[in-house]
Amino acid sequence: MEEKRVTWAELYFDLVFVFAVTQVSGLLHHRHGWGELARAAVVFVPVYWCWVGTTVQANIRDVDNPRDRLGIFTVGLGGLFMALAVPGVDGARGVLFGAAYWGARLVLLGLIATGRGRVRRVWFGPYGVGALISGPLLLAGGLLDAQLMGGWARTAVWSVAALCDLSAPVLFRRLLAKVSYHPAHLPERFGLFLLIALGESIVGIGAPVAATHLGAAELVSVATAFVISCELWWLYFNYAADAMRHSLETAESQRDVIRRVFSYGHFVLIAGVIAVAVGFGETVAKPDDALAAGPLGLLYGGCALYLLAFSYTRWMMFRMVSPTRLVAAAAVLVLLPLMVRLPALGALVALAGVLGVLNLVEYHRVGRARRLDEAAIA
């Protein structure tokens, strides 16, 4: 199979989701309770799933043509409407959010259903669920009175819609096994979405500081947060990205790797980075202030979630644990309650230190394994 490359239309489509991720992270600024976290997750699922649906259909079809480009851009418009609705998603804009998602899913269903051969039958699977079940449920939730049950009625309906979307690849796994996938394209696409989330961490670092006094403490805080962002990038792109591509290329069941590692695993990875980005936004501009539990939980909890997600993906790919990342996640969680009374800069330095040690340990472990392999071949 000829290697499939990401098209310019897909990259342009991603720009919509740069804005969408910013809007979703905005839901957590200044509101850090468990209820707000749950609502942000429920809102993020359809945003993410809209992107996943477009990415998969671009993988199994040739989309570098005017018809499919227009289809991708139309889905992008739906994503833009969803992003615009996010700040008021608990109120009147809930209708716009649900209608935009349903419209995007109908477009994706049309693109898939008009395909050729086995691809055409995929519409009975998750694309049909999105267009015929979760999309209408999101619109129905948006039409509910925003004050009904304190707003939880809408969240409950949207949670059911999210579960329908997330469970569809499992329910239709046999059907999806009949589809041929391009193994080089999907790792690149999901890596690009993770870059979008990491870009949000840069916004979280810079935006709050840009309009404030820039003293030495603030500059050190910015530099430390940027180091953390770089360390998160290194953990994925220096080792994990190649392993994920290798797993997809060599797997007996590509369908299972796509579902477990990419669709589900990357949802957790990206959610962790978004939480860290929000934590930066609440931390960097006030390096001398002690952190409240909410921002500290987002910063450290998001980092721990990111590290734990790697252990999940490694087990799903190779049935192997990732001891270094499990230990680092445990260290982050142990440090979390100890950081409550420290200045924000101290919390940033401690987190950067844990991630720095983890990267150094993994660098030496990989280097030693490579030397042993070379010696065995020689």
Whether 262 contacts 185, CB under 8 Å: no
Residue-wise pLDDT for 54-112, tens only, equals 999 999 888 999 999 999 999 999 999 999 999 999 888 999 999 999 999 999 998 88
Q: What are the backbone dihedrals phi and psi of residue 368, each rounded to the nearest 5 degrees, phi first?
A: -65, -40
- Which residue has tokens 């391009």? 182
Res 291 pLDDT > 90? no
Q: What are the backbone dihedrals phi and psi of residue 190, each rounded to the nearest 5 degrees, phi first?
A: -70, -30
Q: What is the pLDDT of residue 374?
A: 66
Report pTM.
0.93
* Dist CA 353 CA 136 (whole Å): 47
Whether 235 contacts 304, CB under 8 Å: no
Please count the other Cβ atoms lying within 10 Å of the Cβ belonging to residue 192. Answer: 15
The single-letter code of the amino acid at 173 is R
Question: Residue 30 is encoded by which pair of tokens?
Answer: 């200044």
Residue-wise pLDDT for 332-376, tens only, equals 999 999 998 889 999 999 999 999 999 999 999 887 877 776 666
- Length of the chain in residues, anyone? 378
* Dist CA 78 CA 107 (whole Å): 10
Question: Residue 11 is encoded by which pair of tokens?
Answer: 């990259």
Question: Residue 295 is encoded by which pair of tokens?
Answer: 């921002």
Q: What is the pLDDT of residue 105?
A: 96
Q: How confident is the model at residue 34 (pLDDT cuts 50, 70, 90)?
A: confident
Residue-wise pLDDT for 213-272, tens only, equals 889 999 999 999 999 999 999 999 998 999 999 999 888 888 889 999 999 999 999 999
The single-letter code of the amino acid at 141 is G
Q: How confident is the model at residue 124 (pLDDT cuts 50, 70, 90)?
A: low
Question: Residue 41 is encoded by which pair of tokens?
Answer: 């997750």
* Dist CA 19 CA 346 (whole Å): 31
Lowest mean pLDDT among 103-117, 179-193, 275-289: 103-117
